[in-house]
Chain A
């Protein structure tokens, strides 16, 4: 297990490095700079600005400097919000996005598993078809359609929940964003869970348990363990999807999280801010995939033995 763990960790570092390099050089290829505005700056001032932010150095040197500061955990100054460093912006934005993301993921896993379980148990009935049908809705209704509809329904018509804003993380403000983020993932998890459970319930060891006259609850637990691997291996992708969705959700609901900063940074050519978000997001996805791999190895011994040979 330890060996497997180490072999996965060793992969992460070069991957992250390559992603940073890719994003860094791509950004610098883009025409236009962070100091472009409607009124052209005095050339003298522009020159000074470029010097202060070290944008006049050779590109490779800039990259090296950036890596060095990253190694110290410093994302550099924001070029757009010039009174803040990227670290200061992230200090408020990251906890918000993490709170939203984890709640959405937990909701998706719990609700998806429950739905899939119900669908698989009502075999032969309309259960499985209902779950499959609902899953299509998760695909057909993208996040940016669901969000305004929820705002209209619960906020503007029923006046139960606030339409937007963060309000220091009050629970009323979190409900709609979390549901919006979780819905498509619930649909996919439910569908995967149902398919995996139907397969698992047909396995020989479950039949043996049935033959022994085990209680239904027991059998379900065993079937769940066998059904989890395909669902767990999807969770890595789900995390990436939730991160992507959070860009939209944070924009629509006016939540000051990482996604908002990314979009604003991209529109304003804020090199350091966009780089910072890419690094954090890629790091988060890699970390989550690592966790998923470990859970898979724990659930299914074949995975760790295979990697040894």
Chain B
């Protein structure tokens, strides 16, 4: 009955969290996850909404439109409607006076509605048989915290939606890799002998294939659907997990409590599930923190090449590829997604380093 509690390993990991750098990484991760989860709901922009009047807008803390943008839009509107527009500059509602040689058709005012800058216009007064119109045009306030992309979509919302995709792919693909790796490793380690060496030889063979090539071939096979990308990534990233679990299993199966379970007539799957895997959980968790950033990076990699998530859905890799194309003039398109990706990867890496250092010491 000297089964070591897996909780002991977990509490050692929890103790490691007192380390400030790990705590900082964990808070950064939590913040990013929270932002990605609720950010798109409160940003006020759907991720695929196109604002034709706001293409490649720079990031700013103030709501658009500013006075220069209003003036430009008004003069463009005047040219299109063949009128002269005088606009006053006060508050949320713009009072404008339209003048033309011929009577102005009120339907022309729809142009204001179609613009992303103004709300529908209201006629206040009509003089000279409709040649002079006084109208009220409220401004439509829109905030683009991170600016907009080349199609006029809000980058803030897109970065967060991309974060959802990247994090989801990271977690799900890691879960796929975890399942395959743990099952494979536990079976190989517990079976031992020829089966073990055969299964490990197979891993060595797959190791020789550069992962990215394998993932791309798999994505070609599966199609470029979001759900299938993490399956493809998970299918190549389980190798290290299998090795670690096998090593753990080899040592755990020699312990007394496994022999006791065997003597009491427990079936092999039950022994693996109840005794072997829980006792290997410490190293498994430590390796998961290494696996998740690798998977996120791989997904960005594949998406960067245009082989991953497809528009209008997006991921950090897709956004960075977009930013790389527009680097001259609109560097914010590269900076923001790269910042989010980098922060996530760095935090996970620091967390993983800490877990491994403490996990190894506690064993």
Contact = CB atoms under 8 A, between A and B. Distances in A.
A15 interface: yes
B221 A139 contact: no
A56 to B, nearest CB: 21
B220 interface: yes
Contact of B210 (A18, A30, A240, A274): A240
B346 A140 contact: yes
Contact of A15 (B204, B341, B342, B345): B204
Given A136-B346, A139-B345, A144-B320, A266 B216 contact: yes
B217 A145 contact: no
Interface stretch (A93-101, A104-112, A242-250): A242-250
Interface stretch (A39-47, A81-89, A149-157): A149-157
Interface residues of A, number: 46
Given A15-B205, A26-B221, A251-B305, A140 B345 contact: yes
B300 interface: yes
Interface string A278-298: 100110011001000000000
Contact of A286 (B208, B216, B223): B208
Given A244-B210, A282-B208, A145 B341 contact: yes
What DSSP secondary structure best describes chain A's contact surface?
helix
B108 interface: no
B338 interface: yes
Interface residues of B, number: 39
Nearest to B324: A148
Contacts of B334: 145, 148-149
Interface in A61-120: none
Contacts, number: 108
Interface in B312-362: 317, 320-321, 323-324, 327-328, 331, 334, 338, 341-343, 345-346, 349-350
A142 B297 contact: yes
B221 A30 contact: yes
A70 B297 CA distance: 34
A142 B349 contact: no
B217 A266 contact: yes
Interface in A12-42: 14-16, 18-19, 22-23, 26-27, 29-31
A281 B324 contact: no
Contacts of A16: 208
A18 B223 CA distance: 24
Contacts of A31: 223
A4 interface: no
B204 A148 contact: no
Contacts of B349: 136, 139-140
A19 B216 contact: no
B212 A247 contact: yes
A166 interface: no
A247 B305 contact: yes
B23 interface: no
A247 B307 CA distance: 13
30 contacts: A15-B208, A19-B209, A22-B209, A23-B217, A29-B221, A31-B223, A136-B346, A139-B346, A139-B349, A140-B349, A141-B342, A142-B300, A145-B341, A147-B324, A148-B323, A148-B327, A156-B327, A240-B210, A240-B211, A244-B210, A248-B304, A262-B216, A263-B216, A266-B216, A269-B220, A274-B217, A277-B213, A278-B209, A281-B213, A285-B209
4 shortest interchain CB distances as A-B pairs: A148-B324, A140-B346, A140-B342, A244-B212
Interface of A: 11, 14-16, 18-19, 22-23, 26-27, 29-31, 136, 139-142, 144-145, 147-149, 151-152, 156, 240, 243-244, 247-248, 251-252, 262-263, 266-267, 269, 274, 277-278, 281-282, 285-286, 289
